[in-house]
Each structure stands twice: as structure tokens, then as C-alpha cells.
């Protein structure tokens, strides 16, 4: 977000209607009721797990579609519905319509919200017009629109209660992330790293939309809400101007570090966790230094926004390895010692297990054997390069210089995993991860910054690793040891979010459009059904009238499906994805549909 941008609250335009019976309960408590699904990730810890176990390994093969709902919108459908009591809330990509569906009356539409947005925002939305979903609290739904408008809707009527503008699309800022409600605040980030925006995380009052605090990803300590003596990185104070010292001149003002992924929260520690995106531009020659705090994990105090600790996964990112993927909070035993951990599957191909209270690095390992840009993460606490990746010179895009095509880099820019969230099963303590098995050629070139215009500076080509024909794997991961437990290959990247269940069944979707159910212990396929369009949405579970259901949005798009979504054909379009996923058009087509599955 630009420093001079004024954020104003639009006057409240509707009175709150009567809230659902459980609306005044604590949101964390509500998330513990498996009949509902009140947050995009299921709970604050981003587990994407349901304790419901009516659907299990013995009967999953009998699943069948129970009902469907067309959203009436094409392009990529990310995120998933919320279920609160007898109502399901469904969102769409741009123009970001919202539907309230009555589960007691065959999905009857109770109300529909249709925002009026300027379509000029579409060209500045990198990688499709996606939206990752709604948030809920105290009788209100929170929608973060493409044009960066954050609106609170009355959950009973769909009428706006308040709205605020969080950014400026004319400068490349857009809204794609799902908000997160923490206490009396609703959190939103920003998108636009490919347009040279300056990344932010902002907290607004859930009551009236007033700005509470805003933290930037780059720049002066006061803007970043960093205390140079108390904010730490790998156990040491970051010191004054920890970001400014790693940028040349005023580059930090257009340095990226957007927060367009997922947020998590630990109520006991009162800390919010999230990741920041790539630095701008993609040409590393034009921004010498580590470029802090892009491609980083940041832990912030929920009340003040002040950073407790930070950790940069990919210093001086040369490959577009955003750090925005979800932070999963799990209590694990590492080397015989119980730890409150944070587990993060980074775009760069390494999975990190960290102490979420202190930011200590516990485990860092490749979660796809194809990863080659770095050999390992230095885990020696006495080393000057502790916590940094050991980059392979052959795959450094800066080593070759501008206009030199570095070939065979794994993973590709879309990472071993992009925003598609993993799931965690607290019973087995395993993580189930949708991955991309994709490599790239990367050619940087000189680019000038113009507000509102692409600020990329690289041409990419994407393809499977040498010797492989598949572009994705769905894996089970042990974050205690940094090992793959089992791995299922998929023809294309697995771009949907996973769901783990109490019945020992794990669900995910494929880019061809299949919903799949597999045995959590072995990965054995138990069920699959092809929906009308590719699935990049996140699988959700709920219970209604004593029966468990599985719900998922289908509608191909996102970065992997941008060729289909936007009608692009040049192989290097879509930042290289169009050529890499050209064959996808042989398996699926555009659509927008919710499909709900259940037992006979």
C-alpha cells in the first residue's frame, strides 16, 4: 500500500439485524463445533481438519453427489463456503458475489450480494480474478473485494453494514485473500507484488471498520511496527533499520512483500502469523541486498500489530518464491521435546518447522525431491549463514545476469506449493500437502517502474522435472522429521486445498476436476468423482441433520489455469504458466459450481 493512501471509513449503511443464535459466542469456540465451518481454514491454527467421522475408510467409496449450485461466474474459484447453523455462505471470483443458501430448503437462495466494481481492476489482478473466501463474526460476514474494498455484510440479510477501501487498484493493489477475524479486529493484506506495491497487513474494527493498526513489510521500523531491540529473527534482535539496510535507496517503496495468502492465530500467545510475498521486481539485478522483509514469516501481536519475530526464507529472492503460504500451528514433539510449532510449506520447496513462540528453526527439508535451486538450509546456529539456503550457482538467475536464460530451475516460480492450503491431522500428526512438481527456465530483463503497470522483469517457461510426465503430487508429510510418508502423483499440479477428517479420510481436488478421497495412512484412493470444471477450491466438511457432507467449489483458473481462465495462448503468458499447463484444456473447461457430497 502506498504511504500516502488515505483510508476512510464509509458511513454505516444498514443497522445490524438479529444475529444467529450462536453469533455472540467466541469465534474460537464456534470453530470447535464440527457441524459448522466458520473459518476458511476450519480453525485459527489452519488445520483444515474436521473431527466428523461418519465418512470413513470403510464407506468413502459409496460417496455420491447430493446437490449442486451454480455460481453463475466463470474463472477461478478458490477458497470454500462457510457453514453456520442451517445456512451456507458461498462466494465467487470477481465480481465477488455472495450467496446465502438455506440448507433446510434444498439450497434455496436466502439473499445475494452483488457488489458493483469497476472492471478496470481485472487487468491488475495477477494470476486470475480469484477470491479466497469470506470471514464471519458476531452476525457479520466480511468480504474483501477485488478493488480492495473490505465490506461487512449482515449475515441474516446480506445488506452492507460498513465498508472501507484498503488500497488503490490504479497503483496495482488488489484484494484476493480471505480476511481473518481476531478478537474485535478483522485482518486483511494486499495483493500486487507484480506491480511494485508495498506490502501491508491491516487490522480494522469489526464493529465499524475503523483502522486499528497497519504494518508494512518493507521500510522504516515505525512503518513496519518493528521494535529493533525486542523483535527477533532466529533468536537475535533484528536491530535498527533491518529492512532499510537491505534495499538500495528508496527501492523499498515499491518492494513488494504483499500479504495475499493465509493468516493464523494463537489465542494463548496472542500472536498472528502470516507470510509476505516476493520482492519487486523479479529481476534480482535491479534490487541488490536481502530485500527484507519480503519472502518472510512474521509473527505479530494481535492487539498492537508489533512484530514479535520474523524469519526470511529466501533472502534476495531470485525466483519469485513468495512466502505467503499458510502457517499451520501444531503441538509436536521434536527430538523428544514437546514444542508449540509452526509448520510452513514454502514456495521455495522447503518445509519449515519452527517454534511459534520464539521463531526458532527446528526442521527445514525439501518436500519434493526435484528441488534443486538450493542444496539445504543451514541449521548450524553458530554459522554466519544460519537459517539461509545454500544456493546452487547453476540455478541462480542473477548469476547469469540480465537477458540470460537460466534453465532447469526446480521448483518453478509457482513453487512446490502455492496458496493451496495443506491439512493437518492431530490424530496421526501428519500433514497432507497438495504440491506442484514443476520446473522452469527464467530470463530476467531490465524493467522500469510505472504505477499501475506490471513490474515483473522476467520471462518464464514451465514444464515437469526431467524424466517425469506428471506436474503434481499429493503427499503425507511428517514435520517432526522432515520426511515424506507417502506420495501420490497427479497429472497436473494439485491446486486445491486439502481436508483431513476424523474418519481417516483425506480429500482434495484436481485441476482436471476430480474430487478425490484417499486413506490417510496409505494414500490409497478410495473415491473420485469428476465435477464440471477443474478444482482449485478448498474442500470443506459439515454436518446437517445428523449427516456429514463434503463440499467443494469447482471452477478452473488461478495461476495454473490462467490460460483457460483468461483465454491466453502464448506459452510465456501468465508468467510462464500458459505453456506449462497447455494440456489442461484437453481435460476440463471453465465453470463455477458448488458440489456437495454425502453417503447414500
Active-site residue set: 320
Instruction: Show Cβ contacts of residue 273 under 8 Å, excluding neighbours closer than 6 positions.
Output: 263, 264, 265, 266, 297, 298, 299, 300, 327, 329, 342, 356
Within a 13 Å sphere around the CA of 137, how many CA atoms are in the beta-carbon half?
Answer: 22
Q: How many CB atoms lie within 10 A of CB 62?
A: 12
Alpha helices, DSSP H, located in 94-200: none
Rounded CA-CA distance 522/249 in Å is 53
**Separation of alpha carbons 255 and 194, rounded Å:** 10
If DSSP codes are grouped into helix, strand and coil, which group holds residue 24?
A: coil
- Helix, strand, coil % over all residues of the chain, rounded to 5: 10, 35, 55
Q: How far apart are CA 270 and CA 166, in angstroms?
A: 24
Question: Between the CA of residue 598 and those of 62, 91, 287, 501, what are the distances in Å?
Answer: 9, 22, 52, 14
Contact 260, 270 (CB under 8 A): no
Check if the beta carbon of residue 169 is closer than 8 Å to that of residue 125.
Answer: no
263-266: list long-range contacts, CB under 8 Å, 24+ apart.
Answer: 263/177, 263/180, 263/187, 263/189, 263/201, 264/41, 264/44, 264/45, 264/46, 264/180, 264/326, 264/327, 264/328, 264/329, 264/342, 265/44, 265/180, 265/182, 265/302, 266/44, 266/45, 266/329, 266/340, 266/356
**Omega of the bond prior to 411 within 30 degrees of 0, cis?**
yes
Q: Are 372 and 407 in contact, with CB atoms under 8 Å apart?
A: no
- What secondary structure does DSSP assign to 504-545, as a single string? SEEEEE-TTSEEEEEETTT--EEEEEE-SS---SB-EEEEET
Dist CA 150 CA 142 (whole Å): 7
Question: What is the 3-class SS of 197-219, one letter each residue?
Answer: CECEEEEEECCCCCEEEEEECCC
Amino acid at each position: 500500500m502506498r504511504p500516502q493512501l488515505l483510508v476512510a471509513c464509509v458511513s454505516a449503511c444498514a443497522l445490524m439485524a438479529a444475529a444467529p443464535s450462536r453469533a455472540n459466542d467466541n469465534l474460537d469456540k464456534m470453530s470447535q463445533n464440527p457441524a459448522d465451518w466458520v473459518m476458511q481454514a476450519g480453525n485459527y491454527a489452519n488445520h483444515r481438519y474436521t473431527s466428523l467421522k461418519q465418512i470413513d475408510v470403510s464407506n468413502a467409496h459409496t460417496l455420491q453427489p447430493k446437490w449442486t449450485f451454480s455460481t453463475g461466474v466463470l474463472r477461478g474459484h478458490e477458497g470454500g463456503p462457510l457453514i453456520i447453523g442451517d445456512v451456507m455462505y458461498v462466494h465467487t471470483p470477481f465480481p465477488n458475489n455472495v450467496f446465502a443458501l438455506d440448507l433446510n430448503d434444498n439450497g434455496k437462495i436466502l439473499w445475494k450480494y452483488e457488489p458493483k466494481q469497476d472492471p478496470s481492476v481485472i487487468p491488475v489482478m495477477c494470476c486470475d480474478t480469484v477470491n479466497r473466501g469470506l470471514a464471519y463474526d458476531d452476525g457479520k460476514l466480511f468480504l474483501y473485494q477485488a478493488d480492495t474494498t473490505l465490506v461487512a455484510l449482515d449475515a441474516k440479510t446480506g445488506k452492507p453494514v460498513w465498508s472501507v477501501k484498503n488500497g488503490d487498484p490504479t497503483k496495482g493493489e488488489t484484494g484476493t485473500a480471505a480476511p481473518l477475524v481476531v478478537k474485535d479486529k478483522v485482518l486483511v493484506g494486499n495483493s500486487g507484488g507484480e506491480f511494485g506495491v508495498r506490502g501491508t497487513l491491516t487490522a480494522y474494527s469489526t464493529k465499524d471498520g475503523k483502522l486499528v493498526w497497519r504494518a508494512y513489510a518493507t521500510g522504516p521500523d515505525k512503518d513496519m511496527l518493528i521494535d529493533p531491540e525486542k523483535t527477533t529473527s532466529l533468536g537475535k534482535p533484528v536491530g535498527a533499520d533491518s529492512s532499510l539496510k537491505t534495499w538500495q535507496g528508496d527501492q523499498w517503496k515499491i518492494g513488494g512483500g504483499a500479504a495475499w495468502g493465509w493468516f493464523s492465530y494463537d489465542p494463548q500467545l496472542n500472536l498472528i502469523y502470516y507470510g509476505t510475498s516476493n520482492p519487486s521486481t523479479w529481476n534480482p539485478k535491479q534490487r541488490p541486498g536481502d530485500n527484507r522483509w519480503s519472502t518472510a514469516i512474521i509473527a505479530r501481536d494481535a492487539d498492537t500489530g508489533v512484530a514479535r519475530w520474523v524469519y526470511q526464507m529466501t533472502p534476495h529472492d531470485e525466483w519469485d518464491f513468495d512466502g505467503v503460504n499458510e502457517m499451520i500451528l501444531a503441538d509436536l514433539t521434536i527430538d523428544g521435546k514437546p514444542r508449540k510449532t509452526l509448520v510452513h510449506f514454502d514456495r521455495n520447496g522447503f518445509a519449515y518447522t519452527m517454534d511459534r513462540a520464539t521463531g526458532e528453526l527446528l526442521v527445514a527439508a525439501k518436500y519434493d525431491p526435484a528441488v534443486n535451486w538450493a542444496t539445504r538450509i543451514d541449521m548450524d546456529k553458530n554459522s554466519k549463514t544460519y537459517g539461509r539456503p545454500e544456493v546452487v550457482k547453476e540455478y541462480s538467475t542473477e548469476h547469469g545476469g540480465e537477458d540470460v536464460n537460466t534453465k532447469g530451475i526446480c521448483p518453478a516460480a509457482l513453487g512446490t506449493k502455492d496458496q493451496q492450503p495443506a491439512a493437518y491431522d492431530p490424530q496421526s500428526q501428519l500433514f497432507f500437502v497438495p504440491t506442484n512438481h514443476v520446473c522452469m527456465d527464467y530470463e530476467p530483463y531490465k524493467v522500469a517502474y510505472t504505477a499501475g503497470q506490471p513490474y515483473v522483469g522476467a520471462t518464464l517457461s514451465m514444464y515437469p522435472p526431467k524424466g517425469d510426465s506428471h506436474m503434481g503430487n499429493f503427499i503425507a508429510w511428517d514435520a517432526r522429521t522432515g520426511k515424506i510418508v507417502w506420495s501420490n502423483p497427479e497429472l497436473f499440479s494439485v491446486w486445491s486445498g486439502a481436508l483431513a477428517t476424523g474418519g481417516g479420510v483425506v480429500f482434495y481436488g484436481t485441476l482436471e476436476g476430480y474430487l478425490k478421497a484417499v486413506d490417510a495412512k496409505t494414500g490409497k484412493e478410495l473415491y473420485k468423482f469428476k465435477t464440471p470444471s477443474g478444482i482449485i477450491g478448498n474442500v470443506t466438511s459439515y454436518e446437517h441433520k445428523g449427516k456429514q457432507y463434503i463440499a467443494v467449489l469447482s471452477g478452473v483458473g488461478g495461476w495454473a489455469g490462467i490460460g483457460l481462465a483468461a483465454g491466453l495462448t502464448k506459452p510465456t503468458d501468465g508468467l510462464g504458466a500458459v505453456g506449462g499447463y497447455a494440456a489442461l484444456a484437453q481435460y476440463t473447461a471453465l465453470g463455477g459450481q458448488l458440489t456437495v457430497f454425502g453417503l447414500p
